[in-house]
Chains A and B, each alone.
Chain A
Amino acid sequence: MTGDRRVWHKSWPEPARRALFGVFLALILAASRVYARDGVDLVGRRVNLPEVPQRVVTLAPSLTEMVFALGAGPRVVGVSRYSNYPEATRDLPRVGSYVQPDVEKIVALNPDLCLVVKDGNPREVVDKLEQVGIPVYAVNPKNLDQVMETLIALGEVLQARDAAKALVADMKRRLHAVDERVRRVPQRPGVFFQIGVSPIVSVGTETFAHELITRAGGRNLAEGPEPYPRFTVEEVMALRPDIIVISSMERDQTFERVRQQWLRWPNIPAVALNRVVLVASDLFDRSGPRLVEGLERLVTILHPELD
């Protein structure tokens, strides 16, 4: 039988044999693609995703937090340098920083999916990863709503849909609770949100911190088109902030010193009222699920009268 068949196709002319071979090849390729999915990421790039990503590399702390929050932490094999949350990330290999990822280290980890942020991770790195055949899925959340959309999308990508739905439902519930509380506040205090020490840097309208301040019932005194505007001490005095929030990367000693410096200027209302506070910056500048936690903390700071 098999012998027959061999003779039968040997008798075919060469072009037909080639065509047959081509058909076989196409079939084999098609079969291999069953294990992958074609998708479009959140910045509109086409990505060929693995069916269930098993070896994920995240190139930003926010992405690390999102993947872990979706319960896919065990599938993360490499993270960016400053990914410090949750605790389980501590021993994971580092693949360079957010702005300077180390392509060689990423490739060496043999990932089947790399998650990147459009604003921050360099374009060339993404191109190079794709060249060597690693699927790259990019996200670009700009506000709380988009963070939740991103979580749902990542739930799709990582086959963790239920976890994503539950997580987003919880975030929505907490956001709603905050909105309800803030609706009853009598006045909206002016907030100076400080993210840089020397020079003094604050946050403009296009930032997560701005959204959180506004939603927590405050006015961002540094609002405007410039995302990270610089200030001098006299400019801050002129703004007369009711509250100064110093956002720190857990470098408490430095920021305690900054707080002491503000305390020299009692003509600033925030200082006179002893309302210069420190917060953990990770809760305000990382586009992850913990932004809600930052928001809740900010409500407590701005409106202690609600508690």
Chain B
Amino acid sequence: MAVSNRLETPMGIVTPARLVAVTLMCAAGLLGAIVFGMAVGSSGTDFTAVFRSLQGKKALEATQWTILWRLRWPRVLMAMETGAALALGGLVFQALLRNPLAEPYILGTSGGAAVGAILGILMGLSPFPGVGAAAFASSALSLALVVLLASGRAGLRREALLLSGVMVNAFCGALILFFVSTTQDARLHTILFWLMGDLSRADMAVVWRLGAVLAVCAVILFAMARPMNVMLMGRDVAKSLGVSVTWMRLFLLGVTTVMVSAAVCATGLLGFVGLAVPHGLRLLFGPDHRVLVPACFLGGGAYLIGCDALARWIPQHGEMPAGVVTALIGAPLFIVLLRRATR
């Protein structure tokens, strides 16, 4: 069954019971990922410590407690938020652009956000809202550019969309390298952080900020799940059902871009999360967005926590950027999906 068909099947009925069941399944997965993420680290891996630490501070050595709750916990939370934001971003892009391969990183939206964030930092703006706003503006700009480049008479052409995305992405990558290597600015952290996505600088202040943005956007997206289903059936159907396609598209793309650029400011560029998670969940739960929005929210969080934990687990010494893991999983998946979509 081709992915493209999967996306365009008319929707059935979603019972509350099914919604609850799916949510519970994803929540269980998320919980498992959280335990994994808390148990793994460079100072040693210990699953029992995670459960013992739930009994309170006395159950663990002070050092171990600090490592678990002051170092790993913020990191797990940030991975969860970023994963949720990127997975939802991929889901919305796929629905609105009617392209199963659309994803914030591939379309250059993440790259645009990173360039904006770097410029904001270099201009000395405050992290919030200054740098965030710069990241949003720049990522909206790159998305608009990609969509404009790919627009033909018959709507968005699939290959053109991907190609322009790849080009904008490459250009943003070059800009990032340019800024980070020419300005020896300590505030820019490392090139690795911006190009490969790195969660090692997780911080509670960022977790709260990103969490607030994500919560608002996720609620909006869940409320808009029905119109998103209708959009998939095509412009004419949507019109006849009274959905104002153009405005709906703009609004949803705007909300998504806010979410993605906030995630990029916090963690740099993590590729393919918005591809792997929605497709995996579509295979599990079918194409209905009323189910997929909460599933992607929870599943995306679980996925990135898992990827980051693997990034800390695999190397003998230290850790690698989480973006390495997401790309190792995501890029081959992209090729598979591309072959299926063009067949």
Contacts and interface: CB of A to CB of B under 8 A. Distances in A.
Contacts of B219: none
A219 interface: no
Interface string A94-120: 101101101111011010000000000
A96 B200 CA distance: 13
Contacts of A124: 189, 201, 203
Interface string A230-268: 000000000000000000000000000000000000000
A128 interface: yes
A74 interface: no
Q: Give the one of B44, B70, B319 with max A CB within 10 A.
A: B70
B317 A104 contact: no
Interface in B184-209: 186, 189-190, 200-201, 203
Given A107-B63, A108-B63, A124-B203, A102 B70 contact: no
Interface residues of A, number: 20
B280 interface: no
Contacts of B41: 104
Contacts of A131: 70
A110 B63 contact: yes
A96 B186 CA distance: 19
B71 A107 contact: yes
Contacts of B63: 107-108, 110
A90 interface: no
Nearest to B41: A104
A123 interface: yes
B319 A132 contact: no
Contact of A105 (B43, B70, B190): B43
A22 interface: no
Contact of A99 (B42, B67, B72, B190): B190
A132 B71 contact: yes
B66 interface: yes
A71 interface: no
Nearest to B187: A123
A108 B70 contact: no
A265 B67 CA distance: 57
Contact of A104 (B67, B189, B190): B67
B155 interface: no
Interface residues of B, number: 20
Q: Interface centre among A104, A108, A122, A131, by most B CB within 10 Å?
A: A104
A105 B72 CA distance: 12
A96 B190 CA distance: 15
Given A94-B317, A110-B63, A132-B66, A104 B201 contact: no
B234 interface: no
B318 interface: yes
A100 B72 contact: no
A108 B44 contact: yes
A228 to B, nearest CB: 10
A237 B192 CA distance: 36
A32 to B, nearest CB: 15
A123 B190 CA distance: 12
Interface string A117-149: 000001110011001110000000000000000
Contacts of A108: 43-44, 63-64, 67
Contacts of A96: 42, 318
B43 A107 contact: yes
Contacts of A122: 186, 189
A108 B42 CA distance: 9
Nearest to B61: A110
Contact of B67 (A94, A97, A107): A107
Given A94-B317, A131-B70, 14 more contacts: A96-B318, A99-B190, A100-B200, A102-B42, A104-B41, A104-B42, A105-B42, A107-B43, A107-B67, A107-B70, A108-B44, A108-B64, A122-B189, A128-B71
27 contacts: A94-B317, A99-B190, A100-B200, A100-B318, A102-B318, A102-B319, A103-B71, A104-B42, A104-B43, A104-B67, A104-B71, A104-B72, A107-B63, A107-B66, A107-B67, A107-B70, A107-B71, A108-B44, A108-B63, A108-B67, A110-B63, A122-B186, A122-B189, A127-B203, A128-B71, A132-B66, A132-B70
Interface of B: 41-44, 63-64, 66-67, 70-72, 186, 189-190, 200-201, 203, 317-319
Closest 7 A-B residue pairs measured CB to CB?
A108-B43, A104-B43, A110-B63, A132-B70, A132-B66, A104-B42, A124-B201
